[in-house]
A and B are shown apart, each in its own frame.
Chain A
Amino acid sequence: MLKINNLHVKLEEEDKQILKGLTLEVPAGEVHAIMGPNGSGKSTLSYVLSGRDGYEVTDGEAELDGEDLLDMDPEVRAAAGLFLAFQYPVEIPGVGNMTFLRTAVNAQRKARGEAELTAGEFLKEVRVKAAELQISPDMLKRPVNVGFSGGEKKRNEILQMAMLSPRMCIMDETDSGLDVDAMRLVSEGVNALRSPDRSFLVITHYQRLLDHIKPDVVHIMSNGRIIKSGGPELALEVEQNGYADLLAEAD
């Protein structure tokens, strides 16, 4: 599904190398987690994969289903099946959550040559999915993320994910700022989306999220590279001992 090979990325504005030869493969249907100390390049990886400006790929490649991701505009990547759940979802006053989401769903469908959803079809689907995530009709009507609590914003991200049905979901510290109940809700939302032809890349600092969203593979990232990969037990090891041993081992 997602193949990243020897990816080197620097900041466009300054001469600072962030990713230094990152290689990673997430096969279809699997959930992979990335953990790593602050500043190791985890968020940069999620931004580069989804096409945010400000980064320059100096070497390596990233493919989604065999297609070169790095040359596509962000909306083309989205239509190709990539989704990034933001660590800090953006507030957009004056634009209704529903209007935004319906526009996004239909723009992707159109780009893929599928029929657009009518207002009725969309409404029916979004109501069911919102209810599962305990998102109130009032939240759907409000402007995008405006006046949402931290937990509501993250649930709104999962709602978008559910409506857009991406094949490759990247979640950037979705657990940050969530209380126990919100984390359970978000995790249930994600688990409900797990399927043989959908993959997840879950970036997190804490093992706790991985109790809810059980990963197939855990990668440890440091200094712009994956330094170790293993099963879920690797996350437990980090939780207990921190990164020091792993970093020392990698050096």
Chain B
Amino acid sequence: MSDIAVKSKAEVTPQVSGNPKAAAALDDRLAAITMPDAGFSADARADAMVRLRAMGLPAPRDEYWRYTNPSAFNAATATALPFDADGAESPLFTGRDKLTLVFVDGAFDAAASDDLSLEGVEITTLAKADAAGDHWAAGLYGQLELAGQTPVKRPFAALNTAVAHDGLLIRVTGKPSKPVHVLYRRGTADADAVWHHVIRVEDGAELTLLESGMVGARSNGMLEVDLAKGAKLHHIAAKRANDPKVGLSHIFARVGAEAQLKSFTLAVNGTLMRHEGAIDIVGDDAVAHIAAAVLGDGNVGPFHHDDTVFITHGAERGESRQVFKKVLKNGATGVFQGKILVKQGAQKTDGYQISQALLLDDNSQFLAKPELEIYADDVKCSHGSTTGAIDEEALFYLRSRGVPYDRAIVFLVLSFLADALSEVEDDDLRDDINDRLEAWLTTPPQN
């Protein structure tokens, strides 16, 4: 834990309007949280608290919560999990030159982390910046989250802004020689981990951000990303396999002119995960790609994985891709809710969205809500969503060459995921991910 954040109990004002039961649930939720002692972020947090109170906690009747029951996220406290202190690094990133920053239950662990110095990058922590007062992130913290509240409300993102104690504030001014790797670890059995990172990549600068590990019994992570002209962020999150926690993750981004955002998530088994993305393309000729490869085995845990991603084109000649691939078995559930919104004047937009599920048995399900909303008249947008089983023709082809049935299935699963993996730009990293997936598929997953 950081020793800088001073804790005080939330001051909870009972809500007077709305559904009293829902308001009471939010009060309970907030009462269980130790509020941070905010400095530079105080106003942003106060605003976030106001919008959270106005929105309330989500209910299954809310349009974007129909497929994922919010009760585990709404509950006042996290349900403790059997504690496994092993916060081992994802084998994906081992042996790679990188700057590793460790968070335990959402708080920065300086002792376990590398030194915060890397040429071309300024890094500090939210807790430290809050204690110090003024900070460059003052104009960004909670602002991208706020922008992402329209047109769909995202109460847990507002909650995150209001209550997060810690996170990284990263300003990239050059092209650092190695990636920044955030490694998450569990510290206690019932941790309700909340963290909030802000990343600002300046004109023409570039960063590769890696995330791995597992955290909390419940988690709520936020990544606010602001890309200036020609800036690039390549983000790869490898969720710890078989992580039993219930988790929410967010990426709220603003993509400037000629900037590129590429974000890829790998998730293997687990319990309940929801990933929300709100990407605003605000500059011309910008690129935003959001992708995920997900493997869910309902026998390992009651697997439910939800990607809810909105990309808004507000500038000309933008290119966006959403590529989501989920492989589900033994009662696993996959959810995809994705939208491409093209605003008036965002001409020559090229938007693409594909969400696909490979169901390995009859017990699993995929719920998809692909949407296009277009107000410009000279754009190219397409979306597709499919749910299918293993291709019998390809299966027979492989087996006819002597490849055993189980091994042939592994090949076909990897083949299915290939489009999502191709969103990982770094060839070595992509090969590593492919090898890792193959290992997971051929032997029972370890981590």
Asked if B411 CB lies within 8 Å of chain A CBs, one says: yes
Which B residues between 404 and 432 are near A, CB-CB below 8 angstroms? 404-405, 407-408, 411-412, 414-419, 421
Known A93-B415, A100-B411; contact A111-B397, beta-carbon cutoff 8 A: no
Closest to A105 in B: B402
Q: Which of B233-241, B338-346, B388-396 contacts A (4 or more CB under 8 A)?
A: B388-396
Contact B411 A78 (CB under 8 A): no
Residues of A within 8 A of B403 (CB): 75, 100, 103-104, 107
Category for how many chain B residues contact A? 20 to 34
Known A92-B411, A92-B415, A94-B415; contact A100-B421, beta-carbon cutoff 8 A: no
Asked if B398 CB lies within 8 Å of chain A CBs, one says: yes
Asked if B401 CB lies within 8 Å of chain A CBs, one says: yes
Which A residues between 96 and 140 are near B, CB-CB below 8 angstroms? 100-101, 103-105, 107-108, 111
Known A95-B411, A103-B407; contact A90-B397, beta-carbon cutoff 8 A: yes
B contacts, CB < 8 Å to A: 392-394, 396-405, 407-408, 411-412, 414-419, 421
Known A73-B405, A75-B405, A107-B407; contact A92-B400, beta-carbon cutoff 8 A: no
Residues of A within 8 A of B405 (CB): 73, 75
Question: Given A75, A83, A105, A164, which contacts B399 in the complex, CB threshold below 8 Å?
Answer: A75
Known A52-B396, A75-B399, A90-B393; contact A107-B417, beta-carbon cutoff 8 A: no
Residues of B within 8 A of A164 (CB): 401-402
Q: A219: shortest Cβ distance to chain B, in Å? A: 22
Contact A50 B400 (CB under 8 A): yes
A104 to B396, alpha carbons, bound, how many Å?
Answer: 13
Q: B218: shortest Cβ distance to chain A, in Å? A: 34
Closest to B399 in A: A74
Residues of A within 8 A of B419 (CB): 93-94
Contact A79 B400 (CB under 8 A): no
Q: A161: shortest Cβ distance to chain B, in Å? A: 10
Q: B342: shortest Cβ distance to chain A, in Å? A: 29
Residues of A within 8 A of B412 (CB): 92
Contact B401 A92 (CB under 8 A): no
Query: Which residue among B392, B404, B419 has the maximum number of chain A CB atoms within 10 Å of its CB?
Result: B404
Closest to A50 in B: B400
Sampled A-B contacts (24; CB under 8 Å): A53-B392, A73-B405, A74-B396, A74-B400, A75-B399, A75-B403, A75-B404, A75-B408, A78-B399, A78-B400, A90-B394, A92-B394, A92-B397, A92-B412, A94-B415, A94-B417, A94-B421, A95-B411, A95-B418, A104-B402, A105-B402, A107-B402, A107-B407, A164-B402
A86 to B396, alpha carbons, bound, how many Å?
Answer: 11
Closest to B434 in A: A94
A251 to B161, alpha carbons, bound, how many Å?
Answer: 85
Residues of A within 8 A of B397 (CB): 86, 89-90, 92
Question: Given B396, B402, B408, which contacts A53 in the complex, CB threshold below 8 Å?
Answer: B396
Residues of A within 8 A of B418 (CB): 93-95, 143
Q: A231: shortest Cβ distance to chain B, in Å? A: 31
A105 to B393, alpha carbons, bound, how many Å?
Answer: 20
Residues of A within 8 A of B398 (CB): 92, 100, 104
With contacts A51-B396, A75-B400, A77-B400 known, what are 9 further pairs, Cβ within 8 A?
Answer: A74-B400, A75-B401, A78-B401, A89-B397, A94-B415, A94-B421, A95-B418, A107-B407, A160-B401
Q: B223: shortest Cβ distance to chain A, in Å? A: 28
Q: B350: shortest Cβ distance to chain A, in Å? A: 22
Asked if A11 CB lies within 8 Å of chain B CBs, one says: no
Closest to B412 in A: A92
Residues of B within 8 A of A53 (CB): 392, 396
Q: A78: shortest Cβ distance to chain B, in Å? A: 4
Contact B402 A108 (CB under 8 A): yes
Asked if A4 CB lies within 8 Å of chain B CBs, one says: no
* A-B residue pairs, 9 tightest by C-beta: A94-B418, A78-B402, A74-B399, A108-B402, A104-B401, A90-B397, A94-B415, A75-B399, A104-B402
Q: A23: shortest Cβ distance to chain B, in Å? A: 24
Asked if A236 CB lies within 8 Å of chain B CBs, one says: no
Q: A51: shortest Cβ distance to chain B, in Å? A: 7
Q: B384: shortest Cβ distance to chain A, in Å? A: 16
Residues of B within 8 A of A75 (CB): 399-405, 408
Residues of B within 8 A of A160 (CB): 401
Residues of B within 8 A of A143 (CB): 415, 418
Q: A116: shortest Cβ distance to chain B, in Å? A: 12
Closest to A86 in B: B397
Q: B432: shortest Cβ distance to chain A, in Å? A: 15
A51 to B397, alpha carbons, bound, how many Å?
Answer: 10
Asked if A84 CB lies within 8 Å of chain B CBs, one says: yes
Residues of B within 8 A of A77 (CB): 400
A158 to B411, alpha carbons, bound, how many Å?
Answer: 21
Residues of B within 8 A of A79 (CB): 402
Residues of B within 8 A of A78 (CB): 399-402
A214 to B12, alpha carbons, bound, how many Å?
Answer: 90
A93 to B422, alpha carbons, bound, how many Å?
Answer: 11
Closest to A106 in B: B402
Q: A106: shortest Cβ distance to chain B, in Å? A: 9
